[in-house]
Amino acid sequence: MGATAHLKKFQPGGAAMTKAEKLLIFLGVLAFFLFNYPFLHIFNRNLFLGGIPLLLVYLFGVWVLTIAVLLVGKSWLSSRD
Nearest one of 81, 66, 60, 59 to 23, comparing CA atoms? 66
Distance CA 66, CA 61 (A): 8
What per-residue confidence (pLDDT) applies to 32?
94
What per-residue confidence (pLDDT) applies to 17?
83
pTM of the predicted model as reported, rounded to 2 decimal places? 0.73
10-residue averages of pLDDT along the chain (81 residues): 56 73 89 94 95 96 93 83 66
What per-residue confidence (pLDDT) applies to 58?
97
Distance in Å from the first CA to the final CA of the chain: 23
